[in-house]
Amino acid sequence: MFDINGKVAVVTGGANGIGLATVKAILAKGGHPIIADYNEEAGKREAEALGIPFYKIDISDEEKVKEMFDDIIAKNEHLDILVNGAGIGGNSRPITAPDSLELAKRSFNVNVHGTLNCCKYAIAQMQKQGGNCAVVNVASILGVVSNPNSIGYSGSKHAVIGITKSLALENAPQNIRVNVLCPGFTDTAMFNKDLYGEQIYNYILGLQPLSKGTGRAANVDEQAHAIIFMIENSYLTGQSIIVDGGYTVQ
């Protein structure tokens, strides 16, 4: 098993939601998580409360991502875990809508290029130090199945799964494992009753079979638990774990 104790872990999107739950889970296992997020207020607040470092970063800016990893590596001398939790939801638009491509590009910039930027500079260091490292990307159920009008979000999340598989094969000889979490509907800033309104929220929730049995969406700890599993299981690579209460098996 891969022991998280003492390991340095960068968690993008670590200021909120699934990323923050992962930061706390890594900390509970004796790891040294670092929050990397563009939400400065939440990032600083959570990092201060947990006594860990915070980097304000827009992961779609490659130059800034490189600077951040250079600084983290200079200060910590190694980097063992990368969790690419940062992501944005996409506005739903048919392809023929005037702003469809612009909105799709925004999703791809963060969800795909941001993930790639972080993988590039983290994996370069992981290779340099001789491997035995873990990367977990975060896609979505919409990386596995799709919806109409979701070229940006669903398209970008499908790409994250493809990227994960390719990076897993490329880095297996160095024992750098790359896996991907595909969350279903999970109560966070990205999916909640206030954002969607009670009626639409309940409708969406009704599509997720376990929501019928539990009366709720997934919670962030259930998602973080799967991320920890993928980090710790030392023979797992290239795999998607879908924590969706049965949504995609229908």
Ligand X SMILES: NC(=O)c1ccc[n+]([C@@H]2O[C@H](COP(=O)([O-])OP(=O)(O)OC[C@H]3O[C@@H](n4cnc5c(N)ncnc54)[C@H](O)[C@@H]3O)[C@@H](O)[C@H]2O)c1
Interatomic CA distance for residues 140 and 223, integer angstroms: 11
Bridge partners of 12, per DSSP, are 36, 84
Choose between 128 and 212: whose C-beta lies nearer to ligand X: 212
CB of 246 to ligand X, least distance (A): 15
| Smallest separation (angstroms) from ligand X to the CB of 121 | 14
Nearer to ligand X, 130 or 162 (CB): 162
Where in the sequence numbering do the catalytic residues fall? 153
Smaller CB separation from ligand X, 31 or 183: 183
Cα dist from 166 to 5, 179, 233, whole Å? 28, 10, 19
Least Å distance between CB 223 and ligand X? Answer: 7
If the CB atoms of residues 145 and 172 are measured against ligand X, the closer one turns out to be 145
Closest approach of ligand X to the CB of residue 135, in Å? 14
Which residues are near ligand X by CB under 6 A?
12-13, 15-19, 37-39, 57-60, 85-88, 110, 114, 138, 140, 183, 185-186, 188-191
